Chain A
Amino acid sequence: MNGLLWLASYPRSGNTWMRLFLANAEAGAPRPTDINAIPGPGIAGDRSLLDYLLGAETSDLTDDELERFRPAAYRVFAANAAKTIWMKIHDAYTLTSAGEPLVPADASCGVIYLVREPRDVAVSFAHHAGVKIDAVIERMADPSAALSGDARRLREQVSQRLLTWSGHVRSWVDQDAIPKLVLRYEDMVADPLTAFGAAARFAGLSDDPDGVARAVSHCSFGELSRQESERGFKERLRIATRFFRSGRAGAWRETLTTAQAARIVADHGGVMERFGYLDGSCQ
């Protein structure tokens, strides 16, 4: 299977965890993969990667040009790939101003979309970015929200449209152009062998239970946390104390105020209900 296998999610929803699992599953090694040496190109919005694929300085381009050229950049990447490439992406699945999907189906072999309880996302995002929870909740409800969207500074990543949290989920889960596997973060925590086994299968790797179990243990929260304590993690923002912070599901109950939790439900109730975040098991 050639082309790009997208690991898509709203930020702080288990994307890095999934990438580490796949790296460990592919390596099949007796020892865990170094978290700072995950193979692959990194994130789809990486400016250097796009500079390289376009053969131009993305910083010479307008935002509109850059967005219109991104699908072609991913096609070039896929065309030159000798094997399946896993690519992390936080962009929502949107159309460019030319009416073309940002993520082109003809360069893609599939997408693993990870969805996480938005109340936990809010808590995790606030810690990661060093901002107030209310600001994150605001952002999760803002259809124009973007990562690295500040036009006043040159960032290592280009601007990436997030839409609202609900909009992000729907954009990927409801698209039919690219074959998809949708996993809930909570299921990855509760029953990792089943969830990650499905991911291995979808990614074209062996789903042999022993191999999956070993890869899961190599990217357990304890292992990732141990590695981060010893050597740090390059994807952590300076502002955050840790990238791998708690990894738990349901931590929002201890952190969010009633009003904050209610606001998220008011903003995203429809999608939350669809993914079982409003029934008894996750409430």
Chain B
Amino acid sequence: MRGIPALDSRHYAVYGLVLHSELECPELPLAAEGEPDVVVRLGAVPAALPDPCAAGVLYQVQGERFLFRLPGTAAFLAEAGREITVDLTPDADPGAVRLLLYGSVLAAVLHQRGVLPLHGSAVATDRGAVVFVGASGAGKSTLAAAMAQRGYSVLADDVSAIDTSGDVPHVALAYPRLLLWPDAAEHLAVPEEQLQQVRKRVPKCGWRLGDGFASRPMPVYAVYALQPASATQLGMSALHGAQKLRVLAEHTYRRRYLLAMGRAAQHFAQTATVARQVRLSRVTRPRDAFALDELTGLIIADVQQ
């Protein structure tokens, strides 16, 4: 337990959930006390799940149980979307533990709870939320940061939790931080004192959002799938029908967990709901160039048209 002090009752809000966590999560907004959606405890977890139905390099799935282990840092056991047990390695880097919790582990919990986590960042506009999905390195966070600098508030970075249970899909609030790589932070001229290392020996930095973080979840207006390409120009094309389903499936965060959890039908229904109600466009941008001013301009013009 060394390295990270265990605190008593802590309530945090993230991805539309209230967490009651024994693990201190200073990046997460505090939530009012009350019945939490998910309880995060510190404790021992098994080395492996008995008879797992699927296993990746760092995780195993067995029914409603999900085990994630990064040797040297921590193991996490998420159960039925309600409980997470965190088994800390002595002297683990607390930043690394939380990076995994906020990303892969909570994504598994979202899957277990029937919420669709898209691999993307989301910002608030007058028309509703726009979500930038794409593979790692596509430029999602950098684009969200550029939008934030133009006054658009940020709902989520990297993981956009989409609640499809109501009439209209909503993006839940994540937490007020954008993850930027040094070259992007430099290009955006983010003052160095506003950047924080998130994990030792990992170059990406956290940019803490103050007023730039949105205050409430928002209906999704549009999804843009970012794709670096060998083109010299930006391009945008609207997608339709099955193309939309394919892109939403491709950019579902930790899609592999879902299949292992036997939730393919649930996932199909979620993506179909989003596809039916939300505009989806593919945006190609030159690889090896930020073209950020043009890109933000293109997005804003498309949202406003």
* B182 x A55 contact (CB < 8 A): no
Kindly state the separation between the CA atoms of A52 and B203 in the bound complex, as whole angstroms: 21
* B58 x A54 contact (CB < 8 A): yes
Stretch at the interface among B82-90, B227-235, B240-248, B297-305: B227-235
Query: Which residues in A have their C-beta under 8 angstroms from that of B58?
Result: 54-56, 69
Interface residue ranges of B44-90 to A (CB < 8 Å)? 55-59, 68, 70, 72
Query: Please, which residue of chain A has its CB at the minimum distance from the CB of B204?
Result: A59
- Over the window 26-65 of chain A, the binary record of Cβ atoms lying under 8 Å from chain B Cβ atoms (1 yes, 0 no) is 0000000000000000000001100111111111111111
* B68 x A47 contact (CB < 8 A): no
Stretch at the interface among B26-34, B189-197, B285-293: B285-293
Checking B103, B228, B232, B257 against A156 with a beta-carbon cut-off of 8 angstroms, the contacting residue is B228
Task: Give the Cβ gap from B99 to chain A, nearest Cβ, in Å.
Answer: 5
- Over the window 65-78 of chain A, the binary record of Cβ atoms lying under 8 Å from chain B Cβ atoms (1 yes, 0 no) is 10001001100100
Query: Please, which residue of chain A has its CB at the minimum distance from the CB of B136?
Result: A47
* B136 x A51 contact (CB < 8 A): yes
Counting CB contacts under 8 A, is B148 at the interface? no
* B104 x A239 contact (CB < 8 A): no
Interface residue ranges of B89-144 to A (CB < 8 Å)? 96, 99-100, 103-104, 135-138
* A156 x B68 contact (CB < 8 A): no
* A237 x B230 contact (CB < 8 A): yes
Counting CB contacts under 8 A, is B202 at the interface? yes
Counting CB contacts under 8 A, is B20 at the interface? no
Query: Which residues in A have their C-beta under 8 angstroms from that of B138?
Result: 156
* A153 x B183 contact (CB < 8 A): yes
* B59 x A55 contact (CB < 8 A): yes
Checking A73, A151, A236 against B57 with a beta-carbon cut-off of 8 angstroms, the contacting residue is A73
* B181 x A154 contact (CB < 8 A): yes
With A59-B136, A73-B57 as known contacts, state yes or no: A236 contacts B230, CB within 8 Å.
yes
Task: Give the Cβ gap from B59 to chain A, nearest Cβ, in Å.
Answer: 4
Query: Which residues in A have their C-beta under 8 angstroms from that of B228?
Result: 156
* B99 x A60 contact (CB < 8 A): yes
Counting CB contacts under 8 A, is A226 at the interface? no
Counting CB contacts under 8 A, is B254 at the interface? yes
Query: Which residues in A have their C-beta under 8 angstroms from that of B257?
Result: 55
* A62 x B232 contact (CB < 8 A): no
Kindly state the separation between the CA atoms of A238 and B184 in the bound complex, as whole angstroms: 19
* A238 x B288 contact (CB < 8 A): yes
- In this complex, the member of B57, B59, B287, B288 whose beta carbon has the largest number of chain A beta carbons within 10 angstroms is B57
Total count of chain B residues near the partner, CB < 8 A: 41
* B184 x A56 contact (CB < 8 A): no
Counting CB contacts under 8 A, is B11 at the interface? no
Query: Which residues in B have their C-beta under 8 angstroms from that of A238?
Result: 230-232, 286-289
- In this complex, the member of A52, A54, A60, A65 whose beta carbon has the largest number of chain B beta carbons within 10 angstroms is A60
Kindly state the separation between the CA atoms of A58 and B136 in the bound complex, as whole angstroms: 9
Query: Which residues in B have their C-beta under 8 angstroms from that of A54?
Result: 56-58
Kindly state the separation between the CA atoms of A238 and B287 in the bound complex, as whole angstroms: 6
* B137 x A47 contact (CB < 8 A): yes
* A55 x B57 contact (CB < 8 A): yes
Checking A55, A151, A155, A233 against B137 with a beta-carbon cut-off of 8 angstroms, the contacting residue is A155
Counting CB contacts under 8 A, is A274 at the interface? no
Task: Give the Cβ gap from A173 to chain B, nearest Cβ, in Å.
Answer: 29
Query: Which residues in A have their C-beta under 8 angstroms from that of B286?
Result: 238
Counting CB contacts under 8 A, is B256 at the interface? yes
Kindly state the separation between the CA atoms of A65 and B59 in the bound complex, as whole angstroms: 15
Counting CB contacts under 8 A, is B255 at the interface? yes
- In this complex, the member of A64, A152, A154, A155 whose beta carbon has the largest number of chain B beta carbons within 10 angstroms is A154
Query: Please, which residue of chain B has its CB at the minimum distance from the CB of A234?
Result: B230
Task: Give the Cβ gap from A130 to chain B, nearest Cβ, in Å.
Answer: 9
Counting CB contacts under 8 A, is A269 at the interface? no
Query: Which residues in A have their C-beta under 8 angstroms from that of B70?
Result: 56, 61, 65
Task: Give the Cβ gap from B74 to chain A, nearest Cβ, in Å.
Answer: 12
Kindly state the separation between the CA atoms of A52 and B119 in the bound complex, as whole angstroms: 12
* B255 x A52 contact (CB < 8 A): yes
Checking B201, B230, B231, B254 against A62 with a beta-carbon cut-off of 8 angstroms, the contacting residue is B201
Interface residue ranges of B132-188 to A (CB < 8 Å)? 135-138, 158, 181-184
Query: Which residues in A have their C-beta under 8 angstroms from that of B96?
Result: 60
Interface residue ranges of A145-189 to B (CB < 8 Å)? 150-157
Task: Give the Cβ gap from A247 to chain B, nearest Cβ, in Å.
Answer: 18
* B136 x A48 contact (CB < 8 A): yes
Kindly state the separation between the CA atoms of A73 and B182 in the bound complex, as whole angstroms: 27
Kindly state the separation between the CA atoms of A151 and B203 in the bound complex, as whole angstroms: 7
Task: Give the Cβ gap from B219 to chain A, nearest Cβ, in Å.
Answer: 27
Query: Which residues in A have their C-beta under 8 angstroms from that of B255?
Result: 52
19 residue pairs of the A-B complex, CB under 8 angstroms, read: A47-B135, A47-B137, A51-B135, A53-B56, A53-B57, A54-B57, A54-B58, A55-B256, A55-B257, A57-B103, A60-B96, A61-B202, A62-B200, A153-B182, A154-B181, A155-B137, A156-B138, A232-B231, A237-B287
Residues of B within 8 A of A (CB): 55-59, 68, 70, 72, 96, 99-100, 103-104, 135-138, 158, 181-184, 199-204, 228-232, 254-257, 286-289
In the complex, the 7 A-B pairs of residues with the closest C-beta atoms, listed nearest first: A55-B56, A153-B183, A48-B135, A156-B137, A236-B230, A152-B182, A72-B57
